[in-house]
Amino acid sequence: MLLTILAFVFVLGVLIFVHELGHFLMARRIGVRVITFSLGFGPKIVGFRRGDTEYCISAVPLGGYVKMAGETPDDPRTGQPDEFLSKTKWERFQVLIMGPVMNILLAIVLMWVVLMQGARVPAFLDRPPVVGAVAAGSPAERGGVRPGDRIVRVAGRTVSTWEQLSMAIGTKARREVPIEVARNDQAITLSVTPDAQTKYEIGDIGVFPDVHPSIGQVIAGEAAEKGGLKAGDMVVSFNGQTINYGAQLTDAISKHPNETVVFGVQRGGVHQDIRVRPILQGKKGRVGISILDEFKTVQLGPVAAARMSLQRNYEFGGLIFQTLVGLLTRETSPRQLMGPVAIAQLSGESAALGWIALFSLMASISLNLGILNLLPIPVLDGGHIFIMALEGLARRDFSAKVKESMLLAGFAVLMLLMVTVIYNDLTRIQWIQKLMFWR
């Protein structure tokens, strides 16, 4: 629990600081007087003053703000050139845009740092999505997908790798999706409804690449050695069922203690069926082997890592926009939205795995924060920019009453969104979920 709290405070603190720093630096650059730079909202806990600016940490850590002189029509104004509304629309635009821009830049830098460390990733992720196996009873099987099919498009969008396929399917849980496959030189369109996996309801259709785990080590005297399994054997099936990942094999073995099972293995290019009898240990079966999935280590230099960081953030940004559009068109379930509780849980889990995992999570959240703040919703940075753009088109400034109405509408939208994400977070907590009799 303590690790989760500390990780959450660190992640949120850094992201908020960087966002507000963008506003602050640009305001200072164009000569706007900054009254307050605060991390958090509400009552001030600690702070100090330097020059015209008070720097402080406030009680509610779910945001922050930079208060500028003459920022709104309701603020006391003297008409001095160091007031925000005394600046041109172009100058005010620069101040507003720099918060989201700083979050996007942070995402790029963090991903660059992660990639520079080298990444151990599944070897199939960058391969074309040619189906090696289809899970029995899965959405893909029900939809007519077959082994050997090359998945070409998902909902009209081209997918070139398994990673792109995973991203395309992941946002469409419980939504009927057209999938185009290439089969025997023919283009076939199938209809598939992805299942919702994990508490975050990630879409999955039950297709696997043509990869198989191998046996890394065989423990002397254990069931595997007695049955004839050897280190280096590639396990392609278990009791006739195709095995693609090590987790599948581990799960299958655990369910068959004190039963004779059949490992289908490839050894030296020759297929063999080997019978083994797992022993019962605790409540699960085991045979005494270590299992290795096919991984590769990506080592990149600074330039290549920077290029890949830009590419990945571009792809993830596109996925965020697809998700937002999907929410409006009802193609994406609002159940996939996460709030502060889920972010705290993910922060703790990532911190437990190490700083590389934590930085990867921070990069993802920072990119989301930057893009979401650009949405044309009043109250957000993008909303203020949108209002200024409308004023520019109308060639006049809106009245304080009109702006107040627009900001109130934006606040209502944000509150609705906040209620949705907090409800989602609570439903992912098991003991709370049990109390929700209507679910």
Distance CA 92, CA 85 (A): 8
> Reduced to 3 DSSP states, what percent helix, strand and coil does the chain have, rounded to the nearest 5?
45, 25, 30
Distance CA 15, CA 365 (A): 8
pLDDT tens per residue across span 379-413: 889 998 998 898 888 888 888 788 888 888 888 88
pLDDT tens per residue across span 2-34: 788 888 888 888 999 999 999 999 999 999 999
Q: Is residue 349 part of a domain?
A: yes
Distance CA 419, CA 247 (A): 36
The whole-number pLDDT of residue 429 equals 66
Distance CA 170, CA 175 (A): 11
Please check whether residues 307 and 177 belong to one and the same domain: no
Residue type, 262: V
Q: Is residue 266 part of a domain?
A: yes
Residue closest to 358 by CA, chosen among 15, 122, 1, 125: 15
Whether 282 has a pLDDT exceeding 80, the answer reads yes
Q: What confidence category does residue 433 fall into, taking pLDDT thresholds of 50, 70 and 90?
A: low
Q: Is residue 30 part of a domain?
A: no
Please check whether residues 232 and 329 belong to one and the same domain: no
Sign of CA dihedral 11, 16, 22, 28: negative
The whole-number pLDDT of residue 126 equals 86
- The answer to whether residues 71 and 323 touch, using CB atoms and an 8 Å cutoff, is no
Distance CA 279, CA 286 (A): 6
Whether 253 has a pLDDT exceeding 80, the answer reads yes
Whether 183 has a pLDDT exceeding 70, the answer reads yes
**Final residue before a domain boundary, out of 263, 293, 323:** 293
Domain count, the chain: 3
Please check whether residues 242 and 182 belong to one and the same domain: no
Please check whether residues 371 and 439 belong to one and the same domain: yes
**Final residue before a domain boundary, out of 298, 313, 335:** 298
Catalytic sites, residue numbers? 20
The whole-number pLDDT of residue 286 equals 93
Contacts within 8 Å (CB) and 24+ apart, 380-386: 380/410, 380/414, 381/96, 381/97, 381/99, 381/100, 382/100, 383/407, 383/410, 384/96, 385/93, 385/96, 385/97
Count other Cβ atoms within 10 Å, centred on residue 23: 25
Please check whether residues 307 and 439 belong to one and the same domain: yes
Whether 77 has a pLDDT exceeding 80, the answer reads no
Distance CA 134, CA 137 (A): 9
The whole-number pLDDT of residue 378 equals 83
**Final residue before a domain boundary, out of 298, 319, 339:** 298
Whether 332 has a pLDDT exceeding 80, the answer reads no
Whether 153 has a pLDDT exceeding 70, the answer reads yes
Whether 222 has a pLDDT exceeding 80, the answer reads yes
- The answer to whether residues 15 and 347 touch, using CB atoms and an 8 Å cutoff, is no
Kindly tell me the burial class for residue 185, based on how many C-beta atoms sit within 10 Å of its own C-beta (0-12, 13-18, 19 or more).
exposed
Whether 333 has a pLDDT exceeding 80, the answer reads no
The whole-number pLDDT of residue 437 equals 59
Per the structure, the complete domain to which residue 250 belongs is given by 214-293
Residue type, 99: G
Q: Is residue 39 part of a domain?
A: no
Please check whether residues 333 and 309 belong to one and the same domain: yes
Q: Is residue 437 part of a domain?
A: yes
- The answer to whether residues 383 and 352 touch, using CB atoms and an 8 Å cutoff, is no
Residue closest to 190 by CA, chosen among 160, 169, 213, 216: 169
Q: Is residue 42 part of a domain?
A: no
Contacts of 29 (CB under 8 A, 6+ apart): none
Please check whether residues 307 and 380 belong to one and the same domain: yes
Distance CA 325, CA 40 (A): 30
Distance CA 208, CA 120 (A): 19
Whether 367 has a pLDDT exceeding 90, the answer reads yes
Please check whether residues 197 and 271 belong to one and the same domain: no
Count other Cβ atoms within 10 Å, centred on residue 80: 10
Q: Is residue 156 part of a domain?
A: yes
Spell out the alpha helix ranges (H) of 330-438.
340-353, 355-372, 381-394, 400-427, 430-435
Three-class secondary structure of residue 286 per DSSP: strand
Q: Tell me the mean pLDDT in the region 174-194.
A: 93
Please check whether residues 234 and 160 belong to one and the same domain: no
Provide the Cα torsion 96, 99, 101, 106; round to 10°: 170
The whole-number pLDDT of residue 327 equals 75
For the domain that residue 236 is a member of, what is the CATH number? 2.30.42.10
Provide the Cα torsion 63, 67, 71, 73; round to 10°: 80
In Å, how far are 159, 234, 241, 266, 394 from 271, measured between CA atoms? 33, 9, 15, 5, 74
Tokens, residue 100: 């989201």
Count other Cβ atoms within 10 Å, centred on residue 146: 14
Please check whether residues 125 and 114 belong to one and the same domain: no
Whether 127 has a pLDDT exceeding 80, the answer reads yes
The least confident of 240-244, 346-350, 364-368, 387-391 is 346-350
Please check whether residues 251 and 274 belong to one and the same domain: yes
Burial 329-351 (b: 16+ CB within 10 A, else e): eebbbebbbbbebbbbbbbbebb
Whether 313 has a pLDDT exceeding 80, the answer reads yes
The whole-number pLDDT of residue 289 equals 93
Q: Tell me the mean pLDDT in the region 185-208.
A: 89
Q: Is residue 69 part of a domain?
A: no
Average pLDDT, the chain: 87
Q: Tell me the mean pLDDT in the region 162-170.
A: 90
Rounded percentage of the chain residues whose pLDDT exceeds 70: 96
Please check whether residues 330 and 425 belong to one and the same domain: yes
Whether 292 has a pLDDT exceeding 70, the answer reads yes
Whether 102 has a pLDDT exceeding 90, the answer reads yes
The whole-number pLDDT of residue 436 equals 64
pLDDT tens per residue across span 335-352: 777 777 777 777 877 778
Whether 53 has a pLDDT exceeding 90, the answer reads yes
